[in-house]
């Protein structure tokens, strides 16, 4: 049989073909992410839940090698994520530990991930993470006399708290921060510390080299070593000499190039945890442990990369889906021609305007985010917005972002209004109209002689806008449904390294979505709406693909350039051995607050970039700002409400 491809039919149905290809990519990527997570069937991975003494739901992901049974229990390890993270941030180490024969429980702490409740520096005793450790001890396939703990950032502090309360632990691995003077405490059995060169929370006022030397000096003191003999990447002992795992006195510090959040995704640091636990809990020799833990044997990256591919393919899939929907008779009127009048400043004027906008974005992010907490020096005023006892904005890091969105949208609407009024005053009858900036469905000619009251339904065509909203609901529902199916049947979210796409863990987060959506929608209608596609809309190029590419690159400069500069100003000095910039520059609570918010840009900038890519296409499909603005806000707030920490 001979198959022939009719190019004419292909071009006609190109959107359907692309959509089907993307669906295949999504399904394949989700299956592969799940396969790497369970090591192609050798690890049983499942979600577990239990309640604390206050009735709050605590959720964890349990990794059980199939060799671990009630008749042959395996060593158990508890994994604790850091502030504003979730259980899957600890997935790299969890996968490799489970492959090495350990049962691992990666826990969502209160207010994080799928656990309910809200973040508090400490909840009433017994702490939820204590209960996580006790849950692990009670599992019939876990050797309760042979357990360990590892944790990142906030999780490392809480891991130390567990170690102090449960002296039967056999090993402790701390991810992030730098050596501390109490790491020599006998409360901590066989302590491994993982340390990054660009650690944000350590040695203020010190260069990279000075911070490193300061850490070695701390190790000398903590472990009673001869001055100047402390070293990284070698097994130490509390009292000098050969390390001894039998009495809990073994110590080791691993040093790698990276930042505070990069520890959990470092192949070297992941190998260190596996090798350390093999020596402490399985009694292996150093050589045998490292033969298993060697980074070349690691496969966790497959779960992250395929999860990320599933996320990106899902996002891109809404573009052909929107096109196909607008090809139907019911939704056809949502597709409008783009306004013909282009008001883009010529030549260098566009770049000047874009530079001013991107500078405002960067400066407001650096200097004017008031914080991300609900009390103390990091308090954010959005926490004070209440309806009765209900805190409307109850997500810490999200409040930092929303403050920035709101501030920039307010500045944007003022500047855009001034531009709009001045343009109309200067050009008279040839002035720019709301139709030209993608707001109105009616042209200037269609509004001539029409009263103000009758103009409103023509400008804001209720039927088309309602159908636009319905398309947005379908697009969002499509993405959400895919993630729901993946989490239900494959036990994986669409994510890589950090949370991206996941279902709402409870009704509260779904309700919280809406006030945050309102703020981001304001921003997307103004800054990513009338400003991008009206005041600074660009010309058409040779074909659609070139046009979309040029628009995307230039709009990334317009909207994200300042945020990239913030990242460079913060971290570039450390690349040359200097100190972190935020330790020296004055700003609103910069020393302790913006350091955290700048870290969020590591995931925030790529997330915004892909959302702007989608926004451009949706604007070009509809000729109006509404569908692109709604989807921009929905995607960004979805990421925030399912990923970012909630408070009490």
Q: What is the DSSP string of 390-408?
A: EES--BHHHHHHHHHHHHH
pLDDT given at position 376: 59
Nearest CA-CA partner of 341 in 470, 225, 445: 445
Predicted confidence (pLDDT) at residue 51 exceeds the cutoff of 80: yes
Question: Is the pLDDT at 151 greater than 90, yes or no?
Answer: yes
- Determine the distance from the C-alpha atom of residue 191 to the mean position of all C-alpha atoms in its chain, rounded to a whole number: 29
Give the closest residue to 97 by CA, choosing from 30, 162, 192. 192
pLDDT of residue 491 exceeding 50, the answer is yes
Between 53-67, 340-354, 488-502, 624-638, the lowest mean confidence (pLDDT) is in 340-354
Question: Which of 69-73, 218-222, 543-547, 581-585 has the lowest average pLDDT?
Answer: 581-585
Is the pLDDT score of 291 beyond 70?
yes
Read off the pTM: 0.92
Between 430 and 564, the more confident residue is 564
CA 620, CA 329: separation in Å to the nearest integer? 19
Alpha-carbon span 383 to 396, nearest angstrom: 8
Residue 100 gets which letter from DSSP? T
Tokens of 307: 């999860």
Sorted by sequence, the CB contacts under 8 Å of residue 398 that are 6+ apart come out as: 516, 640, 641, 644
Please state, in angstroms and rounded to a whole number, the distance separating the CA atoms of residues 626 and 54.
44
Residue boundaries of the structural domains of the chain: 38-298, 338-461+496-610
Question: How far apart, in whole angstroms, are the C-alpha atoms of residue 96 and residue 79?
Answer: 12
Give pLDDT tens digits for 303-318: 999 999 999 999 999 9
Token code pair at residue 528: 């990513």
Contact between residue 368 and residue 401 where contact means Cβ atoms under 8 Å apart: no
Q: Is the pLDDT confidence value at 591 over 80? A: no
Of the given ranges (48-57, 91-100, 353-362), which has the lowest mean pLDDT? 48-57
3-class secondary-structure state, position 451: coil
- Lowest-confidence pick of 203-212, 519-528, 629-638: 203-212
- CB atoms under 10 Å from CB of 575, counted, come to 12
Angle at 176 between CA 173 and CA 177, to 5 degrees: 115
pLDDT of residue 385: 81
Q: Inform me whether the pLDDT recorded for 415 exceeds 90.
A: yes
By DSSP bridging, strand 250-259 and strand 191-198 are parallel
Give the mean model confidence (pLDDT) for residues 121-129: 63
Looking only at the bridges linking them, the beta strands covering 43-51 and 74-80 are unpaired
- In angstroms, how far is CA 463 from the centroid of its own chain? 36
Judged against a pLDDT cut of 50, whether residue 3 lies above it is answered with no
Half-sphere exposure (Cβ direction) of 173: Cα atoms closer than 13 Å: 31
Tell me what pLDDT residue 590 has: 43
Name the region of 491 (left: φ>0; alpha: ψ -120 to 50; beta: rest). Answer: left
Closest-CA residue to 307 (of 488, 491, 489): 491
pLDDT tens track for 330-342: 999 999 999 888 7
Give the DSSP H or E segment for 605: helix 595-622
- With cut-offs at 50, 70 and 90, classify the pLDDT of residue 454: confident
Tell me the C-alpha distance between 374 and 363, whole Å: 23
pLDDT, position 346: 72
Taking the CA of residue 301 as centre, how many other CA atoms within 13 Å lie in the half-sphere pointing to its CB? 10
Confidence of residue 620 (pLDDT cuts 50, 70, 90): very high
Split at pLDDT 50, 70, 90, the class of 585 is: low
C-alpha dist (Å) from residue 290 to 26, 103, 195, 262: 36, 19, 19, 22
Helices within 239-390 (DSSP H only): 267-281, 286-293, 300-326, 348-367
Helix pair 348-367, 544-575: axis angle to 10 deg? 40
Averaged pLDDT of the chain: 89
Helix axis angle for 267-281 and 91-99, nearest 10°, is 40
For position 53, what pLDDT does the model report? 83
Report d(CA 71, CA 293) in Å as an integer. 26
Task: Count CB-CB contacts under 10 A for residue 555.
Answer: 22
- Structure tokens of 284? 């292996």
DSSP for 207-228? -HHHHHHHHHHHHHHHTTPPTT
Confirm if 626 and 440 have CB atoms less than 8 A apart: no
Mean pLDDT check: name the lowest of 59-63, 117-121, 379-383, 516-520.
379-383
User: What percent of the chain clears pLDDT 70, i.e. is strictly above it?
Assistant: 92
Q: Is 576 left (phi over 0), alpha (psi -120 to 50) or beta?
A: alpha
As a whole number of angstroms, the distance between CA 437 and CA 415 comes to 15
CA distance 397 to 294: 36
Q: What is the mean pLDDT of residues 573-602?
A: 70
**Distance between CA atoms of 288 and 198, rounded to whole angstroms?**
31
- Lookup: tokens for 462: 């209720």
Instruction: Taking each helix axis as running N to C, give the angle between helix 462-489 and helix 14-37, from 0 to 180 degrees, rounded to the nearest 10.
Output: 30
Helix 396-427 with 626-643: angle, nearest 10 deg: 160
Q: Tokens 């309102």, residue?
A: 518
What percent of the chain clears pLDDT 90, i.e. is strictly above it? 63
Q: Would you call 390 exposed, middle or buried from its count of C-beta atoms within 10 A (0-12, 13-18, 19+)?
A: exposed
CA distances (Å), origin 588, targets 207, 365, 583: 23, 10, 12
Asked if 593 and 397 touch (Cβ cutoff 8 Å), the reply is: no
Residue 239: predicted pLDDT:
66
Cis peptide before 126 (omega within 30 of 0): yes
- Residues 640 and 401: beta-carbon distance below 8 Å: yes
Phi, psi (deg, nearest 5) at residue 614: -65, -40
The CATH number, out of the four listed (3.40.50.1820, 3.30.465.10, 3.30.479.20, 3.40.640.10), of the domain defined by the range 38-298: 3.40.50.1820
Tell which wins on pLDDT, 420 or 592: 420
Give residue 322's pLDDT band: very low, low, confident or very high (50, 70, 90). very high
So what's the pLDDT on residue 143?
A: 96
Check if the beta carbon of residue 475 is closer than 8 Å to that of residue 611.
no
**251-260, 325-334, 568-577: which range is least confident on average?**
568-577
Confidence of residue 589 (pLDDT cuts 50, 70, 90): very low
Stretch among 111-115, 117-121, 352-356 having the lowest mean pLDDT: 117-121
The average pLDDT across 179-195 equals 93
List the Cα angle 609/614/617 in 5-degree steps: 130
Give CA–CA dist 127/354, Å, rounded: 50
Give the DSSP letter string of 43-83: EEEEEEEEE-TT--EEEEEEEEETT--SSS-EEEEEEE--T
Structure token digits, residue 546: 């070139």
Q: DSSP readout, 507-543?
A: HHHHHHHHHHHHHHHHHHHIIIIIIIIIITPPPP-SS
């Amino acid at each position: 049989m001979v198959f022939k491809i009719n190019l004419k039919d292909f071009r006609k149905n190109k959107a359907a073909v692309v959509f089907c290809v993307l669906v295949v990519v999504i399904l394949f990527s989700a299956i592969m992410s799940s396969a790497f997570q369970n090591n192609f069937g050798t690890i049983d991975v499942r979600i577990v839940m239990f309640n604390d003494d206050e009735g709050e739901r605590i959720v964890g992901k349990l990794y059980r090698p199939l060799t671990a049974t009630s008749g042959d229990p395996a060593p158990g390890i508890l994994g604790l994520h850091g502030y504003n993270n979730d259980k899957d941030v600890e997935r790299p180490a969890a996968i490799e530990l489970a492959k090495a024969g350990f049962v691992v429980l990666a826990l969502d702490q209160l207010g994080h991930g799928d656990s309910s409740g809200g973040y508090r520096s400490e909840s009433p005793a017994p702490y939820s993470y204590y209960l996580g450790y006790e849950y692990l001890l009670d599992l019939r396939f876990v050797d309760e006399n042979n357990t360990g703990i590892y944790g990142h950032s906030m999780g490392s502090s809480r891991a130390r708290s567990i170690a102090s309360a449960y002296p039967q632990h056999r090993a402790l691995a701390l991810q992030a921060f730098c050596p501390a003077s109490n790491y020599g405490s006998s409360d901590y059995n066989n302590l491994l510390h993982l340390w990054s060169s660009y650690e944000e929370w350590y040695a203020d006022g010190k260069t990279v080299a000075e911070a490193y030397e300061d850490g070695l000096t701390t190790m000398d003191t903590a472990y009673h070593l001869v001055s100047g003999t402390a070293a990284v990447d070698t097994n130490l002992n509390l009292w000098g000499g050969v390390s001894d795992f039998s009495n809990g006195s073994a110590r080791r510090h691993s040093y790698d190039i990276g930042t505070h959040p990069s520890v959990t995704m470092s192949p070297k640091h992941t190998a260190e945890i596996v090798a350390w636990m093999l020596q402490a809990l399985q009694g292996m020799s150093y050589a045998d442990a490292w033969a298993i833990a060697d980074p070349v044997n690691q496969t966790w990256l497959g779960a992250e990369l395929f999860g990320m591919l599933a996320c990106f393919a899902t996002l891109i899939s809404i573009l052909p889906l929107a096109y196909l929907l607008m090809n139907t008779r019911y939704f056809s009127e949502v597709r409008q021609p783009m306004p013909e009048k282009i008001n883009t400043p010529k030549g260098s004027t566009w770049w000047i305007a874009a530079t001013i906008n991107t500078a405002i974005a960067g400066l407001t992010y650096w200097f004017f985010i008031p914080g991300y907490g609900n009390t103390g020096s990091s308090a954010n005023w959005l926490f004070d917005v209440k309806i009765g006892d209900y805190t409307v904005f109850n997500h810490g890091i999200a409040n930092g972002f929303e403050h920035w969105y709101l501030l920039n949208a307010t500045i944007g609407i003022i500047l855009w209004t001034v531009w709009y009024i001045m343009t109309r005053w200067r050009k008279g009858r040839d002035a720019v109209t709301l139709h030209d900036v993608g707001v109105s469905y009616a042209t200037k000619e269609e509004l001539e002689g029409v009263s103000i009251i009758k103009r409103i339904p023509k400008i804001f065509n209720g039927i088309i806008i309602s159908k636009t909203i319905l398309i947005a609901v379908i697009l969002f529902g499509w993405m959400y449904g895919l993630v729901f199916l993946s989490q239900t049947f494959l036990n994986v979210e669409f994510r890589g390294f950090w949370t991206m796409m996941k279902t709402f863990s409870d009704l509260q987060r779904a309700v919280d979505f809406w006030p945050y959506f309102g703020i981001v929608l304001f921003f997307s209608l103004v800054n990513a709406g009338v400003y991008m596609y009206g005041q600074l809309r660009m010309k058409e190029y040779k074909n659609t693909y070139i046009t979309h590419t040029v628009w995307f690159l230039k709009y990334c400069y317009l909207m994200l350039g300042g945020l990239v500069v913030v990242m460079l100003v913060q971290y570039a000095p450390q690349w040359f051995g200097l100190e972190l910039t935020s330790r020296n520059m004055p700003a609103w609570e910069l020393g302790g607050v913006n350091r955290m918010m700048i870290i969020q840009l590591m995931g925030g900038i790529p997330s915004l970039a892909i959302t702007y890519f989608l926004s451009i296409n949706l604007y070009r499909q509809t000729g109006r700002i509404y569908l692109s603005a709604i989807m921009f806000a929905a995607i960004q707030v979805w990421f925030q409400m399912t990923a970012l920490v909630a408070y009490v």
